[in-house]
Amino acid sequence: KSGYIQWKLAGVCVVLAVAGSTIGSNLVLVTSDAFLRVFLLAVLPITAIYVMRSKSFGRQDKEPLSPKRTAALCALVAFCVGVYDGFYGPGTGTFLMLLLTGVAHLKLKSAAGITKAINLTTNVTALVVFLLHGQVLLVLGLVAGAFNIVGNYLGSHSFSKNGGAVARPITIVVLVIFFAKVIWDFVA
C-alpha cells in the first residue's frame, strides 16, 4: 500500500522463494532439526554483532548495484532463505532484511517490501507442503496467524512512520529473543 514493493523484482524473488521453501519443507519432513539449532547458536550472536556494529543498518543506504546484479542477488537470497524458512523458519524476516540491504544493497524501504513478498510466499508454500502431509495443527495456526497479522499491521505502520530509526533496535531485540528461544529449545 505504501509502495515499498518493487513488483518486477518481487516477482523474480517469489519464484525462487517457492522453489526454496518447497525444498526446505520437504527436507524437514525427513530430517531432525537438532543440527540447525547448533548452527543457530553460532549464527545468531554473529548476526546481532553485525547489526550492532553496522553504522549503516537502518540509517543510510549502500551504493546501488546494477539492476541485473541486484535481481540475481535478491533471487539467490530468496531461494536460500526460502529453504531455511521452509525447513525451520524463525527469524526469516530479520535475515531477509539483513541480506537484502547488506548483500543486494537494496534501500531499507525496498528491502522491507521485498521481504514481505518473499516471507508470505515461503510461508504459504510451506503451509501447502505441510497440509499435503497432514502436519498442521489448524486451530493453533489460525490463532497464531491472527496475532501475527495484528503484529505485522502495527509493525508496518511503525516502520512507515519511523523508517530506519526503529529497524536496528527492533532487529536486535528480535535476535536476542530468538537466541534465547534457541537456547531454551536446545537445553529443554
Residues 6 or more apart in contact with residue 165 via CB below 8 angstroms: 58
Q: What is the pLDDT of residue 58?
A: 53
Which ranges of the chain does DSSP label H, i.e. alpha helix? 7-28, 34-53, 67-87, 92-102, 108-132, 138-162, 164-187
What are the φ/ψ torsions at residue 146 (nearest 5 degrees)?
-65, -45
What pLDDT does 128 receive? 96
pLDDT in tens, the chain (188 residues): 667 788 999 999 999 999 999 999 999 888 776 777 777 787 778 777 776 776 655 555 678 899 999 999 999 999 999 998 998 777 788 889 889 998 999 988 899 899 999 999 999 999 999 999 999 999 998 999 899 889 878 877 777 777 666 767 777 787 888 888 888 887 87
Q: Which three cell numbers stand for residue 87?
A: 525447513
The pLDDT value recorded for residue 60 is 52
Report the pLDDT value the prediction gives residue 54, as an integer from 0 to 100: 66
In terms of Cβ atoms closer than 10 Å to its own Cβ (0-12, 13-18, 19+), residue 85 is: buried
Please, what is the Cα angle at 112 between 172 and 25, to 5 degrees?
85
Hey, where are the domains in the chain? 7-187
Residue 35's alpha-carbon distances to 28, 40, 41, 47, 88, in angstroms, are 12, 9, 10, 18, 11
Q: Given this model, what pLDDT does residue 164 score? A: 61
Give the number of other CB atoms < 10 A from CB of residue 152.
14
User: CB within 8 A of 96, min separation 6: which ones?
Assistant: 77, 81, 111, 114, 115, 118, 119
Quickly list DSSP for 41-83.
HHHHHHHHHHHHH-SSTTTSPPPPPPHHHHHHHHHHHHHHHHH
